Amino acid sequence: MDRLFVGVPSVEARSVSESQVIMTELVLPTHTNALGSIFGGVVMSWIDIAAAITAQRHSRKNVVTASIDALNFIAPVFKGWVVNLRASVNYAGKTSMEIGVRVDAENPVTGERFHTASAYLTFVALDSHGKPTGIPRVQPESADELRRFEAAKARRAHRLQIRPRA
């Protein structure tokens, strides 16, 4: 998205930890299907919320979801279980940013915890007129953050290659 807005000034860098979100939800009966496992759409909604809060914290602007690259469901989550979502900004361009979200489930009876889903989302920051606006760069501070930053740059390049043209 960013190359369309070449004239948008960049803003100072921010660390990943400044905008990271950890969100916890309890799987209630209204969240489940006939098998007693959570609807994928509920998980998708929680992922979008956690990612949006992260994007808003990083940019300090209103944001909109531009895309979700992939959402991979790895294991089911059942009624009464706890869902923990961790969202972090992986990369930021001039006006858009990639947010990674990891979803872990927890069986409160056994204490077992496991990875259940992951997703990458792209958000665009908006100014007061609803137009894309400049955002801070990401300043990776650990080896893991740098690895995620470099991987996100590669995914961004791929997104730009496959993006439909207007």
Q: What is the per-residue pLDDT across 118-150, written as a single tens digit (0 to 9) for each?
A: 999 999 999 999 999 999 999 999 999 999 999
Residue 26 in contact with residue 38, Cβ under 8 Å?
no
DSSP 73-133: E-S--BTT-EEEEEEEEEEE-SSEEEEEEEEEEE-TTT--EEEEEEEEEEEEEE-TTS-B-
pTM above 0.85, yes or no: yes
- Tens of pLDDT along 70-127? 788 999 999 999 999 999 999 999 999 999 999 999 999 999 999 999 999 999 999 9
* Domains in the chain, CATH or no CATH each: 2-162 (3.10.129.10)
In degrees and rounded to multiples of 5, residue 58 shows phi and psi of -65, -45
Residue 138 in contact with residue 14, Cβ under 8 Å?
yes
